[in-house]
Structure 1
Amino acid sequence: MTDVPHRLAVIGAGPAGLAASLAAAARGVHVTLIDAAAAAGGQFYRRPASGLGARRPRALHHQWRTWQRLEQGLAAHLEAGTVKHLTDHHVWTVERTAATPGTRTGFTVHALLGPLQERSVAVRADAVLIATGGYEKVLPFPGWTLPGVVTAGGAQAMLKGGLVVPGRRAVVAGSGPLLLPVATSLAAAGVEVAALVESLDPRRLVRAAGALAADPDKVAEGARYAARLLRHRVPFVPRHTVVEAQGERRLEAVTVAALGPDGRVRPGTARRIPCDTLAVGHGMIPHTDLAEALGCRIDGANVDVDDEQRTDVPGVWAAGETTGVGGAVLALAEGHLAGRSVAARLRGTGPDPRSAARATRVRTRARSFAAALDAVYRPPAHWTDRVTDDTVVCRCEEVTAGRVREAVTGLGAGDVRTVKLLTRAGMGWCQGRICEPAVAGLAGCELPPARRMLARPVPLGELARAGSEDDGPPSGAGSPPADR
């Protein structure tokens, strides 16, 4: 068994997953990088398909040189055979596996292959690093299901990945630092951005200036975005929120209103902004499904890790937005530290803190900045007051806010699970990932840990085969994946 190389399965090929893969592979670990996208980079480094013939893909990005270094490093390891990159592989669960002849105790990562996700693949590894990123928090409002209403990240993905804009005249609204790059990118692409509507009171940023100064590079980045907004003459509307999206068959206008100090809409302040696109966002939620299924401890909304990015489950590391939303710089630092730690632990040498000092400093600074932003940016305190009873909350099951409220006030539901049982909210294709924050807000309860056994829908036949068939040769060790 000493001749069998140490194997690491990295789930997610965004900044954290890429940095971890390169760090571990450079230290003798054979890495299988598994990702649902067709190319590495994640949402942050999403690029147009080669067939679109983009002449200047770097125009849609900053930190392009960092991406080039990651891309070149990945290419070198792919050629050397130290990294295997499995694209279009959708991981649905990770299970612990016992030792067999020629293998060590470890893990088996199960993924569905291809756009139809009909074939299963099993990857064996000695350790697993979860770098699955996060997803946007969606808060409903009247008219949010109209065509033309998209998430802020969705608008950005359309532009980065497809070189298309969602419309000709847009309103960007919500709360959080993502709104700035989305508004500037749309304006640079020729979209008339009618307004950037931010629910935050800018004075809160001023009061947090001391904490934000911990990362001057990030402050400078925000200032550059603000300068671009001025150059494109994008109106900035602070302390306002979207009250309603209007239109017959698609979005035609958005009504916004001013917020008082208590987070409630101030009467008489509503105004209508004609537009064909509304890009709305309220921050990100860490994607913790796989970590929770493995039994990793969750701290609030984040996977809990130590200074080496280790979870409390032996053999499982986590990095990037999964451990706390903080941006690409933080994800890169965490991924690098995790990859080094995996290599050292698998070899039995233990990590060398001195050699990782720079990445540790970057992580500390970026985490402090992220914590300061998280304390500043919050959805309006009384956003549920503006959700009418006929507003759809769960799109999969077409459950309205009125049904959720009836489950609470009329049937005695006191938590998200009970609301789900009484209304089916959260029982659809997304399994509550989109609607659960809204359901919890309407029910007036805390958002509980997901506790999903499976990270994505999977055919019953694949579940049966995963439990009864032999996994075949370990694909992470250089053999092709075991297609089922």
Structure 2
Amino acid sequence: MTRVIVIGAGPAGLAAAASASAAGAEVVLVDEGERVGGQFWRHHPDFTDPRLQHQLGRFGTLQQSLRDVRMLASTSVWRVETDPLRVHVLTGPADGADRRGETLEADAVVVATGAHDRVLPVPGWTLPGVTSAGAAQAMAKRDALTLGERTVVAGAGPFLLPVAQSIALLGGEIAEVVEAASVGTILRGWGARAWELSAAVGKAGELGSYVASLLRHRTPYRFGSAVTRIHGSDAVEAVTVQRLDPQWRPIAGTERTVECDSVALGHGFTPRLETAIQSGCQISADRFVTVDSQQLTSIPGVYAAGEITGIGGADAALAEGEIAGLAAAGIPGADLRYRAPLAARRRMRAFAARLAVHGIRPGWTGWLRDDTIVCRCESVPKASIDEYADASSRGMRLATRAGLGACQGRTCGRSVADILGALRQAQGPTSFDHRPVLSSVRIGELAALAQCEDGAQTPQTETPGGS
């Protein structure tokens, strides 16, 4: 029987685990969270307002399909090997002192690690009351809480819409939604070959509900603008909103002040590539995992699905996950079970391609000041990064500690690369995705695992069918 490990329990991972299990494979589903669902289905079991939670029916169906799947929640993958395929995990709370180590062996691995918010640094973004758009959405969906009484939602991309709607539904006031892309850019990008979007009719319904929410609450929507400064002494008191040129450079003389007590920032998403890179998977020039028609990566037995192959939303992730699960279970490509997910993937790719119109432009670094904190974990200002722009990537990190904090560059890595690229006119980005250890591991835990390998104690090694 084929043994499959799925890493990540968001839409892509759930779909992969369900389809692989239905195809007869022994499946282990591994996720860092306490509950399955990922960011998209991040809701409290006792709080399932259908206005905030999307596709709950699909979520319930997937959960029912996991009856024969071994699920490892609160489990961190700290290392992967590909010859043979092995996944090393630690199970237990991330801050716990008694996590249990296991080595999972498999015939195929599906990497569905998803993406996290990309937030561009802004002067004042470390003030209390500023969060990522994803964090604001999670608070609304999971805890029925809003950031504050009056919130500015700012950044780029369609995700700003559901964030604003969620806050408004819970009684919070949205002072403004601020979108960096201009009206002309959006119309040209989304309007070109509009017939290709006709297959994604569900998205039109979602868009309609978001627009209706904006109109009902009389929420201003500002295009071609950005929050370029956040004001306050001990907490957020106001923001400066400024017009941008096509390259996102702030236009002098267009500044205006908007009073608020909270800010949700979201400039798209960054794929979580660490596991795929450690597996040796080929990464494209635009920093996504390269896959074939069955979601197979460049490494035999390793499949990838969801946002790490391209930002496309939950529907695309569900389709890719189902395809990857079938392929990982050994189902040949001519099997009719591929027909529906392949058609869904084709439909959603037209939608995903349009998201590029909201892509970050290089001029955004123009709103930074020398004292703007770029790396929040280590409190590294832009001036320090500028000072060591001519150093090697390693030298810059050691000198400034940018990217060496608790998040290991997940928050600041791409921003540091953009700043360095603008200063160096670099050929390629500085990467923070290469990690010999994928998650935080205590030295004591590593020592215990080493003792297992040396035979000093019995190693806790499981196969997907293990108990």
TM-score normalised by L of structure 2 = 0.92
Q: Which residue of the partner structure matches residue 93 of structure 2? A: 114
Q: Report the 3-state secondary structure (helix = DSSP H, G, I; strand = E; otherwise coil) of the residue aligned with 1:195.
A: strand
Q: Which residue of the partner structure matches residue 42 of structure 1? A: 38
Deviation at 1:181, TM superposition (A): 0.5
Describe how 1:397-436 pairs up with structure 2 within 5 A.
397-408=378-389, 412-413=390-391, 416-436=393-413
Q: Report the 3-state secondary structure (helix = DSSP H, G, I; strand = E; otherwise coil) of the residue aligned with 1:303.
A: coil
One-letter amino acid matched to 2:79 = T
> Are 1:164 and 2:145 matched, yes or no?
yes
Contact residue 154 and residue 264 of structure 2 kept, 8 A: yes
Identity of aligned residues (%): 41
Q: Which residue of the partner structure matches residue 24 of structure 2? A: 28
Q: Which residue of the partner structure matches residue 482 of structure 1? A: none
> Are 1:278 and 2:266 matched, yes or no?
no
Mapped to 2, the partners of 1:138 and 1:458 lie a distance apart of 26
Deviation at 1:468, TM superposition (A): 3.9
Mapped to 1, the partners of 2:57 and 2:30 lie a distance apart of 24
Q: Report the 3-state secondary structure (helix = DSSP H, G, I; strand = E; otherwise coil) of the residue aligned with 2:330.
A: helix
Describe how 1:309-324 pairs up with structure 2 within 5 A.
309-324=295-310
Contact residue 362 and residue 418 of structure 2 kept, 8 A: no
Taking structure 1 as reference, are residues 17 and 289 closer, same or farther at Cα in structure 2, changes over 3 Å only? same
Could you say what the CA RMSD is over the residues aligned between the two structures, in angstroms?
A: 1.8
Q: Which residue of the partner structure matches residue 382 of structure 1? A: 363
Taking structure 1 as reference, are residues 473 and 112 closer, same or farther at Cα in structure 2, changes over 3 Å only? closer
Q: Which residue of the partner structure matches residue 102 of structure 1? A: none
Mapped to 2, the partners of 1:461 and 1:310 lie a distance apart of 36
Deviation at 1:473, TM superposition (A): 4.5
Match 1:94 to one of 69, 76, 80: 80
Deviation at 1:332, TM superposition (A): 0.3
Describe how 1:284-295 pairs up with structure 2 within 5 A.
284-295=269-280
Mapped to 2, the partners of 1:124 and 1:387 lie a distance apart of 47
Contact residue 113 and residue 121 of structure 1 kept, 8 A: no
One-letter amino acid matched to 1:111 = L
Mapped to 2, the partners of 1:293 and 1:213 lie a distance apart of 40
Q: Which residue of the partner structure matches residue 258 of structure 1? A: 243
Contact residue 3 and residue 329 of structure 2 kept, 8 A: no
Q: Which residue of the partner structure matches residue 101 of structure 1? A: none
Contact residue 174 and residue 379 of structure 1 kept, 8 A: no
Deviation at 1:211, TM superposition (A): 4.2
Contact residue 16 and residue 335 of structure 1 kept, 8 A: yes
Deviation at 1:397, TM superposition (A): 1.5
Contact residue 101 and residue 449 of structure 2 kept, 8 A: no
Q: Which residue of the partner structure matches residue 456 of structure 2? A: none
Q: Which residue of the partner structure matches residue 444 of structure 2? A: 461
Unaligned 5+ runs, structure 1: 98-104, 480-484
TM-score normalised by L of structure 1 = 0.88
Give aligned pairs, total: 449
Q: Report the 3-state secondary structure (helix = DSSP H, G, I; strand = E; otherwise coil) of the residue aligned with 2:4.
A: strand
Taking structure 1 as reference, are residues 435 and 212 closer, same or farther at Cα in structure 2, changes over 3 Å only? farther
Taking structure 1 as reference, are residues 317 and 73 closer, same or farther at Cα in structure 2, changes over 3 Å only? same
Match 1:17 to one of 13, 18, 21: 13
Contact residue 77 and residue 87 of structure 2 kept, 8 A: no
Q: Which residue of the partner structure matches residue 476 of structure 1? A: 464
Describe how 1:115-154 pairs up with structure 2 within 5 A.
115-118=94-97, 119-122=99-102, 123-154=104-135
Unaligned 5+ runs, structure 2: 454-458
> Are 1:337 and 2:323 matched, yes or no?
yes
Mapped to 2, the partners of 1:203 and 1:31 lie a distance apart of 48
Mapped to 2, the partners of 1:71 and 1:192 lie a distance apart of 35
Deviation at 1:416, TM superposition (A): 4.1
Q: Which residue of the partner structure matches residue 337 of structure 2? A: 355
> Are 1:370 and 2:352 matched, yes or no?
yes
Q: Report the 3-state secondary structure (helix = DSSP H, G, I; strand = E; otherwise coil) of the residue aligned with 1:344.
A: coil
Could you give the per-residue CA deviations for residues 21-50 of structure 1, whole angstroms, max 9, x where no partner exists? 1101111111111111111111101111x4
Taking structure 1 as reference, are residues 262 and 91 closer, same or farther at Cα in structure 2, changes over 3 Å only? closer
Deviation at 1:72, TM superposition (A): 2.4
Taking structure 1 as reference, are residues 30 and 212 closer, same or farther at Cα in structure 2, changes over 3 Å only? farther
Mapped to 1, the partners of 2:119 and 2:6 lie a distance apart of 28
